[in-house]
Amino acid sequence: MPEERCPPRRAAPDPRAPVCAHGVDAIHPGYGFLSEKGELARACQAAGIAFVGPTAEVLDSFGDRTAARALAIACGVPVVPGSDGPVADLAGAQAFSASHGYPLIIKAAMGGGGRGMRVVRAAEELEENFARAASEARAAFGDGTVFIERYVESPRHIEVQILGDRTGEVIHLHERDCSVQRRHQKVVEMAPAIGLAEAVRTALHADARKLAKQVGYTNAGTVEFLADPEGRHYFIEVNPRIQVEHTVTEEVTGVDLVQSRHWAHRGLSLGQRYGHSPRRRLGYAGAVISPHYDSLLVKVTAHALTFSMAVQKLQRALAEFRVRGVAPTDGRRARSCPSPAARDGPAPRGRSPLDPQP
């Protein structure tokens, strides 16, 4: 990518000016590059604004790809053979290539998304590609630091979705296959990874959780790996944020990841993630039903993380519900408002949360 086309890096803004004036008390950083910056999380903390994401310290650990790589090695998570840290100059790149050979890949240390990445297959290509990678990294992230790894031929790009809470528990929500790429940019993502050996799948899930638990990871994130044709896998990086492709995971798991980020930030434990699901039964009215048949006409079910939210959803569904051709039972109650008690917890035995107040 030519340098002039790379978007300039934006410094982490001071959130106090625009948000305090409007009474904002929390910032969800989305999936822009600022979402991985520890300085934004610290600026929010200094302003008394909640940052919905991992801690600034965790962002520091994973925002620097060389630091994340060192952490993976310390945890026993396999990595692609590469430089011990940043490669400062061409001489360092030449020394690495002399020891490890070709092909190799040069990567930006302070960012991802395919920017600042160059594959080098021969010695005569090294000088130009080293300069280009550093230039692209500087233009995109404000830091031209790069590191080098052996290039893995024909790998699958597999990433594991993780979710951690403040009790130290970390779960995985399975994996996504992001192998279809153009210029190191993902083009097609799918979940789960079809045809992946179960032993590799299990190892990826375990290593993702191991790495996250090592740093006390909270909130949602993604641990990315390469899997080669021989069944070996290698850690690439951690994206400590929500990702563009998170929706395919939501489709196969039924978990709202953005909502989960907010609940994790508020201290909800993963043991509470299943939520509440009330259901209302409606039967036939004005007809004689034989004892050989059930009078049930329809069931309306709602779900939310809290009992209060679930009752509100069910109440709205019933208020908008229409039955034609026959008269349902409990028609009056189906459209009644929940009592205040219903929003705080289960109703007394024998009484529906949707019943009118006495």
Domain ranges of the chain: 82-151, 156-270, 275-343
Instruction: Give yes or no for a contact between 304 and 313, defined as CB atoms under 8 angstroms apart.
Output: yes
> Which residues contact residue 144 at a Cβ distance below 8 angstroms, ignoring those fewer than 6 apart?
134, 135, 137, 138
Instruction: Give yes or no for a contact between 108 and 118, defined as CB atoms under 8 angstroms apart.
Output: no
Tokens 């006409």 map to which residue? 297
pLDDT, mean of each 10-residue run, the chain (358 residues): 45 55 81 84 88 92 87 93 85 88 88 80 91 89 87 91 91 94 84 95 97 94 93 93 92 89 83 76 78 82 84 89 78 46 50 44
Which residues make beta-bridge pairs with 284?
328
User: Which H helix or E strand runs over 211?
Assistant: helix 198-214
CA dist., res. 226 & res. 152, Å (int): 8
The DSSP code for 5 is G
| Active-site pick, 65, 115, 209, 241 | 241
Instruction: Give yes or no for a contact between 60 and 38, defined as CB atoms under 8 angstroms apart.
Output: yes
* Structure tokens that stand for 266 in this block: 């508020």
Q: How many CA within 13 A on the CB side of residue 250? A: 13
Tell me whether residue 5 is one of the annotated catalytic residues: no
What's residue 254's pLDDT?
Answer: 86
Is the fold of 82-151 the same as that of 156-270? no
**Rounded to two decimals, what is the model's pTM?**
0.69
- Three-class DSSP category at 65: helix
Determine if residue 248 is left, alpha or beta; phi over 0 gives left, psi from -120 to 50 gives alpha, anything else beta.
alpha
Burial 49-80 (b: 16+ CB within 10 A, else e): bbbbbbbbebbbbbbbbbebbebbeeeebebb
* Structure tokens that stand for 351 in this block: 């009484």
| Assigned CATH class of 156-270 | alpha beta
* Structure tokens that stand for 241 in this block: 């944020």
What's residue 19's pLDDT?
Answer: 58
> Which residues contact residue 20 at a Cβ distance below 8 angstroms, ignoring those fewer than 6 apart?
47, 49
* Structure tokens that stand for 132 in this block: 């280009």
Burial 153-185 (b: 16+ CB within 10 A, else e): eebbbbbbbbbbbeeeebbbbebbbbbeeeebe
- Just give the CATH number of 82-151: 3.30.1490.20
Which residues make beta-bridge pairs with 328?
284
The CB density around residue 275, as the number of other CB atoms within 10 Å, is 14
At position 278, the amino acid (one-letter code) is P
Phi, psi at residue 279, to the nearest 5°? -140, 140
At position 53, the amino acid (one-letter code) is G
Computed over its alpha carbons, how large is the radius of gyration of the chain?
A: 26
Q: Angle CA(39)–CA(36)–CA(243) in degrees, nearest 5?
A: 155
What's residue 82's pLDDT?
Answer: 80
